Chains A and B, each alone.
Chain A
Amino acid sequence: DIQMTQSPSSLSASVGDRVTITCRASQSISTYLNWYQQIPGKAPNLLIYGALSLQSGVPSRFSGGGSGTDFTLTISSVQPEDFATYYCQQSYSTPFTFGGGTKVEI
């Protein structure tokens, strides 16, 4: 199985801060990497697919980057509604696997 490791596991930020979350794969996965946001008590919501592509309806302050084994999710200016847990997921091969999550707190 491909292991996905996110860092940090949690971070504190203020409204307006620039936030970057890192995801590392245990082997190269090209750009087969997706990002999800999960608000407590809700289902995950797709933000970024194919490492770089913004899902329709997602604010442009979210952006993805990277390829191979190292990936980033950046929020250019954190808004109050962005405080949530973020997960990366590889779709290079089955079993599809998720990172452990990064909780973004105020």
Chain B
Amino acid sequence: QVQLQESGPGLVKPSETLSLTCTVSGGSINNSYWSWIRQPPGKGLEWIGYVFYTGSTNYNPSLKSRVTISLDTSKNQFSLKLNSVTTADTAVYYCAKMRGGSVNWFDPWGQGILVPVSS
């Protein structure tokens, strides 16, 4: 059973870069799509983007200018970088496996990591 676990700093300052890593266990990162989704406290879900195991990516246009999602197949990990953050980027960040192809869905998800943006 594939499991995902997010890791990263617990606090980021405004204007700096948010960097998170998702470690995949119980399965290979190859031959799959991997995604990041976030949820501001008390609010709904926002899809950030995905990376395919080949390295190809697709980002939400609302964040595209600030986002990079990449993967490290040797470590079975993928990562998120979001630069020039503001307090509006404060959220729980989830990594998830995305079922790709003609029909897509997110399953399973990591437990999530809260990243406050504050000076």
Contacts and interface: CB of A to CB of B under 8 A. Distances in A.
Contacts of A66: none
Nearest to B61: A95
Interface of A: 1, 32, 34, 36, 42-46, 49-50, 55, 87, 89, 91, 94-101
A49 B103 contact: yes
B105 A91 contact: yes
Contacts, number: 55
B109 A44 contact: yes
A98 B105 contact: no
A87 B45 contact: yes
Contacts of B112: 43
A95 B103 contact: no
18 contacts: A1-B61, A32-B103, A32-B104, A34-B105, A36-B106, A44-B109, A45-B109, A46-B107, A49-B103, A50-B105, A89-B106, A91-B103, A94-B47, A94-B60, A95-B47, A97-B47, A100-B44, A101-B45
Contacts of A89: 45, 105-106
Interface of B: 44-47, 58, 60-62, 94, 99, 103-112
Nearest to B109: A43
Contacts of A50: 103, 105
Given A34-B106, A49-B107, A87-B45, 7 more contacts: A43-B111, A43-B112, A45-B107, A91-B105, A94-B60, A95-B47, A95-B62
Nearest to B48: A95
A51 B44 CA distance: 20
B95 to A, nearest CB: 10
A55 B108 CA distance: 11
A96 B47 contact: yes
A43 B94 contact: yes
Contacts of B104: 32, 91, 96
A32 to B, nearest CB: 6
A53 to B, nearest CB: 9
Given A43-B94, A43-B112, A98 B46 contact: yes
